[in-house]
Amino acid sequence: MALNPFKFAAPAVFYPLANRLIPWFWTLTGILLALGLYWGFFQTPDQLGGNNAQKEYYRIIFVHVPAAWMSMWLYVIMVFWAAVGLVFNTRLSFMMANAVAPTGAIFTFLALWTGAFWGRPSWGTYWDWDPRLTSELVLFFLYLGYLALHAAIDDQRRADRAAALLAIVGLVIVPVIYWSINCPDPTQCASLHQRSNLTRIEGNILFAMLTMTLAFWMYSFATSLMRLRTLILEREAEASWVQELLNPRGGR
Amino acid sequence: MKARQKRLILIGLALGLIGLASALAITALNSNISYFFSPSQVIAGEAPLDHVFRLGGLVQPGTLRRQGNGLLVEFAVTDNRATIQVAYAGILPDLFKEGAGAVAKGRLRPDGVFQAEEVLAKHDEEYMPPEVAKTLQTAHAEGVSQTKTPPTAESAGASH
Question: Band of the pLDDT at B159, cuts 50, 70, 90?
Answer: very low
**Same structural domain, B76 and B135:** no
| CATH code of the domain covering residue B91 | 2.40.50.140
Q: Does B14 reach chain A within 8 Å, measured CB to CB?
A: yes
| Alpha carbons A136 and A101: distance in angstroms, whole number | 15
Looking at residue A2, what is its pLDDT? 64
Closest approach of B45 to chain A, Cα-based (Å):
18
Over residues A76-107, the pLDDT tens digits come to 999 999 999 999 988 899 999 999 999 999 99
Which A residues in the span 141-200 are in contact with B, Cβ-Cβ below 8 Å?
Answer: 168-169, 171-176, 179-180, 183, 185-192, 194-197, 200
What residues of chain A score a pLDDT lower than 50? Answer: 252
Question: Band of the pLDDT at B148, cuts 50, 70, 90?
Answer: very low
Question: b vs e for B78-99, b when ≥16 Cβ sit within 10 Å of the residue's Cβ?
Answer: bbeeebbbbbbeeebbbbbbee
**Same structural domain, B69 and B21:** no
Looking at residue B138, what is its pLDDT? 66
Question: Band of the pLDDT at B155, cuts 50, 70, 90?
Answer: very low
Whether B55 shows a pLDDT value over 80: the answer reads yes
**Cβ–Cβ of A52/B123 closer than 8 Å?**
yes
**Same structural domain, B21 and B52:** no
List, in order, residues 6 or more apart from B132 with CB less than 8 Å away: A49, A202
**Same structural domain, B83 and B131:** no
Nearest by CB to residue A197, choosing from B36, B125, B159, is B125
**Same structural domain, B22 and B55:** no
Alpha helices in B31-103 (DSSP H): 39-43
Q: Closest Cα to residue A167, out of A91, A75, A242?
A: A75
Question: Three-state DSSP class for B101?
Answer: strand
Looking at residue B154, what is its pLDDT? 44
Which A residues in the span 82-141 are in contact with B, Cβ-Cβ below 8 Å?
Answer: 83, 86-89, 121-125, 128-131
**Same structural domain, B15 and B26:** yes
**Same structural domain, B63 and B99:** yes
Report the number of distinct structural domains present in chain B: 3
Looking at residue B147, what is its pLDDT? 43
Could you tell me the residue ranges of all domains in chain A?
21-46+54-182+189-238
Nearest by CB to residue A131, choosing from B29, B38, B158, is B29
| Alpha carbons A56 and B65: distance in angstroms, whole number | 28
Whether B150 shows a pLDDT value over 50: the answer reads no
**Cβ–Cβ of A189/B126 closer than 8 Å?**
no
**Cβ–Cβ of A49/B128 closer than 8 Å?**
yes
Closest approach of A180 to chain B, Cα-based (Å):
7
**Same structural domain, B135 and B116:** no
Question: Band of the pLDDT at B30, cuts 50, 70, 90?
Answer: low
Residue B132 structural domain: 125-160
The arithmetic mean of pLDDT across residues B138-146, rounded, is 55
**Same structural domain, B69 and B91:** yes
DSSP per position, chain A: ----GGGGGSHHHHHHHHHHHHHHHHHHHHHHHHHHHHHHHHSS-SS--TT----GGGGGHHHHHHHHHHHHHHHHHHHHHHHHHHHH--HHHHHHHHHHHHHHHHHHHHHHHHHHHHHHHHTS-S----HHHHHHHHHHHHHHHHHHHHHH-SSHHHHHHHHHHHHHHHTTHHHHHHHHHH-SSTTT---SSPP--GGGB-HHHHHHHHHHHHHHHHHHHHHHHHHHHHHHHHHTTTSHHHHHHH-TT---
Give the single-character DSSP code of B55: E
The arithmetic mean of pLDDT across residues B115-142, rounded, is 81
